[in-house]
Amino acid sequence: MNGAQVGFFILAGLLIVSSLWVVFQRNVVHSAMALVAALFLVAILFLTLNAPMVGVLQILVYAGAIMVLFLFVIMFLNPIGLEQRRRLWWGFGALAGLLLAGALVPVLTNGDAPRDPVVATELFGGPEELARSLFTDFVLPFEIASILLLVAIVGAVVLAKREP
């Protein structure tokens, strides 16, 4: 086990802990904060994978913008007290989660490595490489994504517009 792996396992462990925290916290704001932490740790994972651009965008978009809106809405609604646990749903959800984990763990652990994995180069996650692939190989998805965002904006405005 080399340094990189140690780093990975520390990060991954923290990530799992904070993700569990998201689920098991009964206080909504604490959950949201744990989610911020989890997203931040994912960003650091990207950094260790030679993809600083993606990592920073992760912080900027998720931890910086989306989670702030999350918190904003939570605070607007100002939930009083803690979330009540509904045993039936918890049982059902836990069962489904365990089933999924049971299906995923064996297949994810004893798999061979992919035959030709993508090799990360020095420039792999840098802005130049990212921009090049966005504007060459993935230019069509990139453009369609802009339509998607336009639709989402139009939709949000329509649904939130004050009725005359």
End-to-end C-alpha distance for the chain, whole angstroms: 65
List the structure tokens of 61. 């978009």
Residue 29, SS3 per DSSP: helix
What would the x/- binding string for other proteins be over residues 37 to 76, using CB under 8 A?
-------x--xxxx-xx--xx-xx--xxx-xxx-xx--xx
Show the CA angle centred on residue 137, arms to residues 133 and 139, nearest 5°.
90
Q: Which of 130, 148, 134, 132 is nearest to 51 (CA)?
A: 130
Interacting residues with other proteins between 92 and 111 (CB under 8 A):
103-104, 106-108, 110-111
Q: Are 15 and 45 a contacting pair, CB within 8 Å?
A: yes
CA separation for the pair 146, 151 (Å, rounded): 9
112 binds other proteins (CB under 8 A): yes
136 binds other proteins (CB under 8 A): yes
The only residue of 4, 96, 99, 101 in contact with other proteins, by rule CB under 8 A: 4
Q: How far is the CB of 51 from other proteins (least distance, A)?
A: 9
Q: Which residues of this protein are in contact with other proteins, per CB under 8 A? A: 2-4, 7, 27, 29-30, 33, 36, 44, 47-50, 52-53, 56-57, 59-60, 63-65, 67-69, 71-72, 75-76, 78, 103-104, 106-108, 110-118, 126-127, 136-141, 144-145, 147-148, 150-152, 154-155, 157-159, 161, 163
